[in-house]
Amino acid sequence: MTTDPHPVWGKRLSDAPDGLALAFTSGRDVAGLPMADELLLPYDIWTNLAHVRMLQRCGILTEAERRELCRGLAGLEADVRAGRFRLDPGKEDVHINIEHHLTHTCGLASGKKIHTGRSRNDQAGTDIKLYLRDQLLQLADRAAGLIGRVLAKAPAELDAVMPGFTHYQPAMITTAAHWLTAWSQALLRDLERLCQDLEMLNRSPLGAAAAFGTSWGIDREYAAGLLGFDAPEENTLDCISARGEHEARAVAALSFLMNHLATMAQDMILLSMPYYGMLAIPDRFVTGSSIMPQKRNPDFAELIRGRAALCHGLLVALLGVQKGSMSGYNRDFQLSKYAAMDAFRECGDAPLLLGDVVMGMSFRHAEMRAKAVQGFMNSADVADLLARRHGLSFRDCYDLLSLAVKHCDAEGELTRAGMERAIAESGIPLRLTDEEVRLFNTPEALLAEKRHTGAPSRPAVEAMIASQTERLNALSAPIEALQARVLAARRACLADD
């Protein structure tokens, strides 16, 4: 039996749906959710490995006990990867499940010592920090990839004249490359924010115990290094009280990113509408209708807007969970885990998907240019040009152009006759040259006049592409270094030595 590549909408679309786009738009409609602590299993194994190694180093466990516990944990890691281990809800959480596995399933007497010098409070706090670090690293990597794709697209659009909008109305002339580098500049702020958040997050609560430390002679610095952290989070009471804060900060960074992705999505929706007709989105990223055969719906973009709102709601919930709590552990903190996981589950693929769309989309240059010479979008630029060349005030030239637009409305563009009538009525001592009249309705020439930093002229946008690429590389370096360090620390903990 063959599978219809167009599940619902028949033969309207030429390409089969993109797998990532289909999964993103289907979402939880057809996909189940894992247990929250199932997501933490790999991190709790790692936390246990680091704790066991630290206990042996401090003389609390023997070398033989360390070896058997590390082997038991490594075996559990293999079982988890192979899908052979499932959490037992009767054992409350991932921490008790693992301790029970070592003590009873593996028959290790040393399993009863694994909880020495710690509490589930610091253990859970460490697990969630490891989870958040991985999520933020992945998000930063995907954001960097999206920025790279936007910047790779921009050079081909340096001369692609198009309308710019304010209040959703045609406003002034710009280029597609200028539009793209606006996207990438916003995303670079997100990437910088993620780098800052990773630096703040990367301190270990392990060893804080229930919030008040332990009388055992532990080495928190050593355990922190085994987990790829920069250092321990110092005060043990604050280590535990901060549950929810780290989740909220991570989801705040995700919310800012989703806002920018939602802007990109809205731009794509509007520019690709038949009534705008300036952008083409490949068939593999759109959906059809179960009743209207002609439809091409940008569902992925609409869901990015919707999931941005969902992310905001989860952020507000996270801020509320930790508000007004007494210092120390409170069970409300458990809910922060679910909100953070939901946010990353719903939104984590968005930059990856948009990167694929950016690479596949194409601008319709003829339609863009045709619209750029409609609606008198050159008016402000012409007012600037006349004020600059003739030593006039901008406000006088603005008033002159207001009259000219009214007089030229029937023609749909600025004409010499309409301009001269406006000049006569305004009483401004101004004599137009033939070269100026030609400039009025040549968008490329008007754009070339804008030479300052960040403007839409070709040289200015080329400079932005270069500077943004340099900034992208600078921000990517510490992310890649942390990724490598985390991977090395995990491998070292799992090594059978």
pLDDT in tens, 120-164: 999 999 999 999 999 999 999 999 999 999 999 999 999 999 999
What does the alpha-carbon distance between residue 306 and residue 302 come to, in Å, rounded to a whole number?
Answer: 6
324-335: burial string, b at 16+ Cβ within 10 Å, e else? eeeeebeeebeb
Q: Is residue 6 over pLDDT 60?
A: no
- Predicted TM-score of the model (pTM): 0.94
Q: Kindly list the domain boundaries of the chain, sorted by start residue.
A: 1-29+123-158+175-217+233-370, 379-440
User: Average pLDDT in the 203-228 region?
Assistant: 96
Residues annotated catalytic, as ranges = 167, 289
Task: Report pLDDT for 291.
Answer: 83
User: What pLDDT does 121 receive?
Assistant: 94
Mean pLDDT value of segment 261-271? 98
Residue 247 has pLDDT above 90, yes or no: yes
The CATH number corresponding to 1-29+123-158+175-217+233-370 among 1.20.200.10, 3.40.50.1100, 3.20.20.80, 2.30.110.10 equals 1.20.200.10
Residue 228 has pLDDT above 80, yes or no: yes
Q: What's the mean pLDDT in 212-221?
A: 96
For range 270-279, the mean pLDDT: 95
